[in-house]
Structures are given as structure tokens and as C-alpha cells.
Amino acid sequence: MSTPSTTAPHDVDLAHARWRKSSYSGGANDCVEVAELGGHAAVRDSKDISRGTLLFSKAVMRALVGGIASGAIGPLRG
């Protein structure tokens, strides 16, 4: 079994990205937004989009969401 690539190109154009917000955000602008970009997914903080964007391959994004949904990835504890 191969490990999904964790690298993403730095030259991805986000100018025309179509950002989606979770339906669970309740319109309070307090969640993340996701945009599909070909073979990648971009994620940003909806409260402060100036903080930048995280880019993941779609395989890594699926693994992340699957891990959260299954409980394998949980809240950080300080």
C-alpha cells in the first residue's frame, strides 16, 4: 500500500476557487471553507482568510476527513 502524497504545488491559482462553507456553520462565519482544485483541495479559515490557505491532495483530504469521521483523529488536548 502506498502512502498518499502530502505535497501540493505552490503555483495553484486560487483566484477562481469556488469556496464552500460547512452547512453546520450556521452563518456565523466561524468555520473552515473548502475549495476543490483539480487534484487538490484548499482549506482556509472563514473568519480570517488573510491567514492563508492549506493545500492538500484529494487523497490526503479524504484520509483526513475519514479519520475525523471515524474518531481516529480527535480534538487536540493541551
Query: Around 31, how many Cα atoms within 13 Å sit in the side-chain half-sphere?
Result: 12
Q: What residues make up the domain containing 40?
A: 29-70
Burial class (CB in 10 A: 0-12, 13-18, 19+), 78: exposed
pLDDT at residue number 74: 83
Kindly state whether residue 57 falls inside one of the protein's structural domains: yes
Kindly state whether residue 45 falls inside one of the protein's structural domains: yes
**What is the C-alpha separation between 26 and 7, in angstroms, rounded?**
32
- Say what the pTM is: 0.69
pLDDT in tens, 56-71: 999 999 999 899 889 8
Q: How many domains does the chain have?
A: 1
Nearest one of 74, 73, 36, 71 to 56, comparing CA atoms: 36
Kindly state whether residue 49 falls inside one of the protein's structural domains: yes
pLDDT at residue number 14: 84
Kindly state whether residue 77 falls inside one of the protein's structural domains: no
pLDDT in tens, 3-27: 444 444 566 778 888 999 877 666 6
Kindly state whether residue 6 falls inside one of the protein's structural domains: no
pLDDT at residue number 4: 41
